[in-house]
Structure 1
Amino acid sequence: MKLPPLKALPVFEAVARLNSFSQAAEELAVSQSAVSHQIKQLEHYLGEQLFLRTGRYLSLTEEGRQYYEAVSGALRQIEQASEQLLGQETMALRLSVFSSFAVRWLVPRLPALHRELPQLELALDMSGGHPRLSDRVADCFITVRTDVPAYSYELIYTEQLFPVCSQQYWQTLCRELGLDPALGVHQPELAPQRLAAYPLLSTHSIYNRAGGDWIHWYAVAGQSLPSGARLQHFSHMLLALEAARFHQGIALTNDYMLSNRADSADFVRLPCHALTTGDQFYFAWKTSRRNEPGLRLLRGWLVEQAIESGLLGR
């Protein structure tokens, strides 16, 4: 068996993960020169440059990135195998999750997670975009990406958008549109053009286009967004929903934004059609780590919660 300098592997993993020689030295309780020596020894053995150094900036080369992905997983498996034999196994996981999904759906459920899986230590990393699926970023992800072959994916939610407003605003709509408040939301479906008389709260990030969410919503009904529609633009659905809460108009939102939150009763889902955006939310984990107890427990719990909250059909 031909192995690289084994002492250098934990050093390489720490430098790659922390993106810093000095921070790796501090974590490993060794000198920075010792860290540099181990990395040079490993690069000499492999015949490849693992890091690019530009002034104070450090980054992995493509060869270094590929080597890190393999080495970090192998070291983690060795660590877990040892912990199992010692009876000291921990289940610490980093989950990267969209900010809206985290704030409106996952965080309110964390107390239940802690009660049901007290052995699981979950650290959340909120992502605003689409993070690269990599152990350097997190151990697992809530993502709409399914294009990385090294990962496995479990469907959590297929997104639909529907119009909502505050309870107070709903009373205004009933009065001005001649709706019967006693029927609640069980009214005949509202014609899309009737909504255009009111401020439409739009989220840019859904389609990365100004007014894109409402343009697509109207298109489902075979209509164009009315030219006189008053759009109020927001970068994020969280902001548009907050504006709706404070009676500023009608927002398009999805199921997880209103799922089992204490404030969900503040909103009324209007009797209108829904728009399927095409985005599907998945729990993603590296296939090579599929047997790790923590990942299996978290995956099962997330699917169970998605079913219970109505995001995922049984």
Structure 2
Amino acid sequence: MKYPPLKAMATFETVARLNSFSQAADELHISQSAVSHQIRLLEDFLGETLFRRLGRYLELSDVGYAYYEAIAPALAQIQRATVEVQGQETLSVRLALFSSFAVRWLIPRLPDLQRQHPTLDLALEMMNEAPQLTDRVADCFITLLPDSRGFTTEALYTEQLFAVCSRTLWQRMQDDWAQFDWSDDAQGISPHILQHYPLLSVHSIYGQRSEDWRRWFAAAGETLPEQARLQHFSHMLLALEAARHHQGIVLTNDYMFQPAQDTDLVKLPFHALITGDVFHFACKTHRQHEPGIAMLRHWLRAQAKVAGWIM
């Protein structure tokens, strides 16, 4: 059996992963015309078109996508075997995750990761939407998907929403309702007391305006008060900033609110709402024992334990 040209396959893997001829040329340190030549060699060998150009945009053909998914793990294994024989060890890992999780929780902890694992070269791919689980995007992921074919997943955090406001607004609330004992989880105090203050709603949580507060009240067996004053935001980062500037009360979660950092904010003594979203660490099953991926997975689990998210 005649094998396809290895250089052309490696060039194809790079173009497919980066979705760009020019970026592939930069990574491979060759000209863009040389990249095009290698792709043509492989297409001629296979007798198939691997890429489609849609104006200025590039995408894999159906055959190209299937071929990439099949050969990328094999090329990675060849690279790992070569590194082992040479007595070297690569610990470069690409992690794809939600931008809010990265900015508010992961990045402040990266100095600890660097201290514990100085040989780990971590590159972050921050996404606004749930990342597609494929080696083209990253080596591993923090995702809401509990199961995906060919992937091993591990739960890190079960999301809950709780009420937060600025210290200034919290003091005002205590002054307004001095007859209540706020020290014991606000027991016996109805959540309806919050209707007297602006409620900051984030519609990206449930995809509907005011739905976060409606469900939070429902979890206490109550309805969202009709007279409640709601302000609407597209993202929790924006609503948290508004709360920080005394503009109202926001529902947030454990990775967005960090008590040690957010000293100007206060978690109110009311119930929490379990959203049903669970954040998982995910990687290809056949890659889970690669040194860099395993190192990152164990560190993330340790951080989740310190935060009290998992046992």
Same fold (TM over 0.5): yes
Per-residue CA deviations over 1:196-235 (Å, capped at 9, x if unaligned) read 1110011111001111110111121222211111111111
Q: Counterpart in 1 of 2:301?
A: 303
Correspondence list, 1:153-302, <5 A: 153-179=153-179, 184=183, 186-259=185-258, 261-263=260-262, 265-302=263-300
- Residue 11 of structure 1: how far off its partner (Å): 1.2
Per-residue CA deviations over 1:36-67 (Å, capped at 9, x if unaligned) read 33222322332332111233321101221122
- Consecutive unaligned residues in structure 2, runs of 5 or more: none
Aligned pair in 2 of structure 1 residues 103, 26: CA closer, same or farther (>3 Å)?
A: closer
Q: Counterpart in 1 of 2:41?
A: 41
**Letter of the structure 2 residue corresponding to residue 3 of structure 1:** Y
**Letter of the structure 1 residue corresponding to residue 234 of structure 2:** S
Q: Secondary structure at the match of 1:158?
A: strand
Contact 1:163 / 1:252 at 8 angstroms: preserved in 2?
A: yes
Contact 1:204 / 1:211 at 8 angstroms: preserved in 2?
A: yes
Contact 1:189 / 1:272 at 8 angstroms: preserved in 2?
A: no
Could you tell me the TM-score, scaled by structure 2's length?
0.93
**Letter of the structure 1 residue corresponding to residue 164 of structure 2:** V
Contact 2:180 / 2:189 at 8 angstroms: preserved in 1?
A: no
Aligned pair in 2 of structure 1 residues 76, 283: CA closer, same or farther (>3 Å)?
A: same
Q: Secondary structure at the match of 1:272?
A: coil
- Residue 127 of structure 1: how far off its partner (Å): 1.2
Q: Counterpart in 1 of 2:127?
A: 127
For 1:155 and 1:53, locate their aligned partners in 2 and report how far apart those are by CA, in whole Å. Answer: 39
Q: Counterpart in 1 of 2:21?
A: 21
- Residue 180 of structure 1: how far off its partner (Å): 5.6
- Residue 25 of structure 1: how far off its partner (Å): 3.2
Contact 2:160 / 2:272 at 8 angstroms: preserved in 1?
A: yes
- Residue 269 of structure 1: how far off its partner (Å): 1.7
For 1:117 and 1:260, locate their aligned partners in 2 and report how far apart those are by CA, in whole Å. Answer: 26
For 1:52 and 1:136, locate their aligned partners in 2 and report how far apart those are by CA, in whole Å. Answer: 17
Contact 1:91 / 1:121 at 8 angstroms: preserved in 2?
A: yes
For 2:245 and 2:83, locate their aligned partners in 1 and report how far apart those are by CA, in whole Å. Answer: 51
**Letter of the structure 2 residue corresponding to residue 113 of structure 1:** L
Correspondence list, 1:105-116, <5 A: 105-116=105-116
For 2:5 and 2:97, locate their aligned partners in 1 and report how far apart those are by CA, in whole Å. Answer: 36
For the aligned residues, what is the CA RMSD? 1.9
Contact 1:213 / 1:252 at 8 angstroms: preserved in 2?
A: yes
Q: Which moved more, 1:223-232 or 1:294-303?
A: 223-232
Aligned pair in 2 of structure 1 residues 260, 112: CA closer, same or farther (>3 Å)?
A: farther
Aligned pair in 2 of structure 1 residues 205, 229: CA closer, same or farther (>3 Å)?
A: same
For 1:52 and 1:123, locate their aligned partners in 2 and report how far apart those are by CA, in whole Å. Answer: 28
Q: Counterpart in 2 of 1:97?
A: 97
**Letter of the structure 1 residue corresponding to residue 250 of structure 2:** A
For 1:286 and 1:126, locate their aligned partners in 2 and report how far apart those are by CA, in whole Å. Answer: 19
Aligned pair in 2 of structure 1 residues 20, 256: CA closer, same or farther (>3 Å)?
A: closer
Contact 1:204 / 1:236 at 8 angstroms: preserved in 2?
A: yes
Q: Which moved more, 1:203-212 or 1:21-30?
A: 21-30
- Residue 185 of structure 1: how far off its partner (Å): 5.9
Q: Which moved more, 1:238-247 or 1:105-114?
A: 238-247
Q: Which moved more, 1:16-25 or 1:170-179?
A: 16-25
Per-residue CA deviations over 1:76-116 (Å, capped at 9, x if unaligned) read 22222222222321211111121221122111111100000
For 1:20 and 1:119, locate their aligned partners in 2 and report how far apart those are by CA, in whole Å. Answer: 29
Aligned pair in 2 of structure 1 residues 29, 174: CA closer, same or farther (>3 Å)?
A: closer
**Letter of the structure 1 residue corresponding to residue 282 of structure 2:** A
Q: Counterpart in 2 of 1:81?
A: 81
Aligned pair in 2 of structure 1 residues 218, 134: CA closer, same or farther (>3 Å)?
A: same
Aligned length: 311
**Letter of the structure 1 residue corresponding to residue 16 of structure 2:** A
For 2:107 and 2:35, locate their aligned partners in 1 and report how far apart those are by CA, in whole Å. Answer: 38
